[in-house]
A and B are shown apart, each in its own frame.
Chain A
Amino acid sequence: MRPILELSGISKRFGDGFALENIDLDLFPGEVHVVVGENGSGKSAVMKLVGGLYAPDSGELRLDGVPTSFTGVADAKSRGIMYRPQEPQLFENLSVAENLFFDQLPRGRWGGLDVLRLRSDAVALFAKLGISLDIRAGVAALGYAQRQLLEAVKTCVGTWKVVIFDEPTSAMAEPERAILFNIVRTLKKSGIGVFYVSHRLDEILRIGDRVSVVRQGRVEDTRSVDSLDRESLVHMMTGSLRTERYPRTSRVRGRVVLEVRGLRSGYVLRDVSFSVHKGEILGITGLMGSGRTRLAQCLFGAVESTAGELLLDGKPVLLKVPTDALSRGIALVPEDRSENAILHRQDLVLNVAVASLSRYKGIAGLNADFMRSLVSDYSSRLGVRPGRPSDRPDKYSGGNQQKVAIARWLARRSRIYIMDEPTRGIDVASKVDVYNAIADLVAKGASVILISSDIEEILGLCDRILVLAGGRIACDLPRAKATQELILEYATAE
């Protein structure tokens, strides 16, 4: 049998220095080819190349044996390649059925929308797949997992040669996953080739035919799933880590500053308890959808928890809104800096100073000189380049933006810093700057809760590591005992 899709010797350089190098990968009709790798390894970039989002710099992509290049996503789609991105991309103001058939809405005789057929088609499809969603409901009312599912169902509409799923189950619970696997099997049976990006061991073993590992922009290994058991799969996925390159100093652990008891938040967090010590870097890791970000939000008062208790210095506190947390010395450097942290259309001075304005208060309003000099000092210390006061951080690179967000909260002089994925998607030099800022924080007695899906970073920096799975703490590992295998094992346990 001939592969429907082949990538041979494909390279692609990205602006921030990251590169895909010499990628060889193929896909056969009726095959599920699982692609695994750490965050930032380049696995999604490879899939985007196949899906027509990126064009390769060199190398060849062959579709049905014919060398091909795509001008864009629409072009790839028209030639039978369906790419489902990691984040659901649905139309908020349309109904479930309308989203489902958006690319080929049934038309009536006069060109108008055939609402009745649209509904009956949607009902029939949902019945076939065993989905109990209201097809008339607006997408805005759906939860994240339901949106992911709806995105997956879209692959059953239209005729495809290749379907690509990029971490389709990250937020799904078992019932939704069962439906998704059903969809994948249906695609497979009709001879469609499926690329499936995943972190989850059990998924690979359940639906995969072959598995490829992507690491640092290269395909490291491709094997048949039949030849692998759980253990050899873990070994294949992990490879060797270089944890000694992280700027970490040994410190004496201080007293407990924050204690979390029985924290719950909706269905996302179920009974989370742990404590944070003074001068400690506490790592929290887990798969997407394990509740990491929600935990950060609860500790910061951005989302109210439904049950549980927080004790600061042994005294119970109630954090209903972020200002409650801030006034008690808890700061959050959020995930996705461009969206959540950077003030767009504002200069560097305001972007850094905004969380610590009370420091610059003079008799007649803000002391602009002091504010400016402090901001320049912070930016130069943290390596924000060029770091001129009049710079617009919304135009900075991701790494610089992240450093601006961190400088803002350092200037606030808090006690506990929660950092949610502080190095995701930033350049290596900026990562080193961020790690050094974390080292400086804990050396001076602050505590850092580092939420990250980069296991090497977690192992390299943290004194203690909590693994979240399904909204619970699957284990609490001291540094000396933590290994990548152990973390992966706990994170993916069902």
Chain B
Amino acid sequence: MFALERVRVIRNYLAEHRQAEVHALSSLLAVSEVTVRRDLEKLEEDGFLVRTHGGAILAEAGAGLVPFRGEKGDNPLSDVSVQALADEVGRNAARLVSDGDTVMITCGPLTRALARSLSERRGVTVLTNDLEVARVVSLQDANRAVLLGGEVDPTDQAVYGALSLDDLQRFHVDRLFAELDGFGEDFELSSGTQEKAALIREGRARTREFVILCTADRFFRNAFFRFGVASGGDTVVTDRTIDDIVKRRLFEANLRLFISQDIFEGSA
């Protein structure tokens, strides 16, 4: 890995975790601890971090200047958090996939994060309408991607329409992972486009297990196209900014709620 890329990875890691240990970075980047220390030195000179014994912490001043994608300064910290939260949701949702499963994954930022996290699984078949999900999974050695047919939507980078719905009939999947745009107060599920709503509705009718992925700001809001109601036994995976009232309402309604805390750092 090139120095520039390493520095970017370390920046993102620190922006997300606010602190990092040399040995953790060294195994993350697959380079020696000496190399990591050199990179940290450089970042300290930039005022991005403060080095500590065995690691580094994010400098308070640097926190606002973290570029997440693209060049320095074109994205505020809020974008970093959004991406970090999405990755946490993806990793958490991936725990619901076992080796050898066949799952359907619809399109969206959270489901793409889920697809990336499937690299630790083996023998998983993913049926999807999302081009990026299909690409990511197809590159994972031990997993397989099946892309539904249909017309490619230019904004979503996903396929929709009668063709996709027809294709869906031919497969049996264990679990549906669907990303929503709205989760209403009365637990009505909704999405921003009619095509997406139709696809999720159809997918849900064909699976036993339904896993809803949505960011915490989608709760108790409705998007335009409704496609059903969450009911007891359904699973919801969301990020850790979720409100206490939502936690309570979902638990009392017998929904299984996964909050992506990603808190435990592993046994020392």
Contact = CB atoms under 8 A, between A and B. Distances in A.
A245 B247 contact: no
Given A370-B19, A413-B268, A433 B233 contact: no
B251 A432 contact: yes
Nearest to A359: B268
Contacts of B263: 378, 381-382, 407, 410, 437, 440
B266 A367 contact: no
Contacts of A410: 263-265
Interface in B50-84: 50, 52-53, 57-58, 60
B53 to A, nearest CB: 6
A393 B72 CA distance: 39
A147 B89 CA distance: 51
Contacts of B268: 329, 412-414
Interface string B230-260: 0011000000101011011011101111110
Contact of A413 (B50, B53, B98, B265): B265
A246 B256 contact: yes
A244 B232 contact: yes
A410 B245 CA distance: 25
A400 B155 CA distance: 42
Contacts of A227: none
Given A329-B268, A446-B264, A242 B98 contact: no
B229 interface: no
Contacts of A248: 256
Contact of B258 (A412, A429, A436): A436
Contact of A433 (B53, B245, B259): B259
B58 to A, nearest CB: 7
Residue among A369, A431, A441 with most chain B CB within 10 A:
A369
Contacts of A377: 17-19
A415 B267 contact: yes
Contacts of B242: 383
Contacts of A381: 240, 261-263
A223 to B, nearest CB: 28
B233 A244 contact: yes
A247 B57 CA distance: 32
A378 B248 CA distance: 21
A249 interface: yes
B259 A436 contact: yes
Contacts of B18: 373-374, 376-377
B256 A439 contact: no
B42 interface: no
B152 interface: no
A232 interface: no
A307 interface: no
Interface string A423-461: 000011111110011011101111000000000000000
A28 to B, nearest CB: 36
A251 B70 CA distance: 38
A441 B264 contact: yes
B240 to A, nearest CB: 6
B95 interface: yes
A428 B252 CA distance: 8
A432 B259 contact: yes
Contacts of B265: 410, 413
B57 A373 contact: yes
Contact of A369 (B57, B245, B255, B258): B57
Contacts of A244: 232-233, 254, 256
B261 A245 contact: no
Contacts of B53: 361-363, 367
B95 A370 contact: no
A17 interface: yes
A104 interface: no
A68 interface: no
A413 B268 CA distance: 5
A410 B267 CA distance: 9
A395 interface: no
Interface string A181-209: 00000000000000000000000000000
A385 interface: yes
A427 B50 contact: no
Contacts of B52: 362, 367, 370
Nearest to A385: B244
A380 interface: yes
A242 B255 CA distance: 10
A410 B262 CA distance: 11
A431 B50 CA distance: 36
A340 interface: no
B96 interface: yes
Nearest to A442: B264
A431 B257 CA distance: 11
A242 B232 contact: yes
A414 B58 contact: no
A363 B262 CA distance: 30
A205 B233 CA distance: 37
Contacts of B57: 367, 369-370, 373
A250 interface: yes
B233 A436 contact: no
A378 B264 CA distance: 9
A417 to B, nearest CB: 9
Contacts of B233: 244
Interface string A219-252: 0000000000000000000000010111111100
Nearest to B266: A444
Given A246-B256, A440-B261, A445 B266 contact: yes
Contacts of B240: 380-381, 383
Contact of A440 (B232, B245, B262): B262
A493 B266 CA distance: 40
A65 B213 CA distance: 57
A282 B167 CA distance: 43
A408 to B, nearest CB: 12
Interface string A4-39: 000000000000010000000000000000000000
19 contacts: A245-B254, A249-B95, A250-B98, A329-B268, A367-B53, A381-B262, A382-B261, A385-B244, A410-B263, A413-B265, A427-B248, A428-B247, A428-B248, A432-B259, A436-B259, A444-B267, A445-B267, A446-B264, A446-B267
Interface of A: 17, 242, 244-250, 329, 361-363, 367, 369-370, 373-374, 376-378, 380-383, 385, 407, 410, 412-415, 427-433, 436-437, 439-441, 443-446
Closest 4 CB pairs of A and B: A429-B244, A413-B268, A429-B247, A381-B263
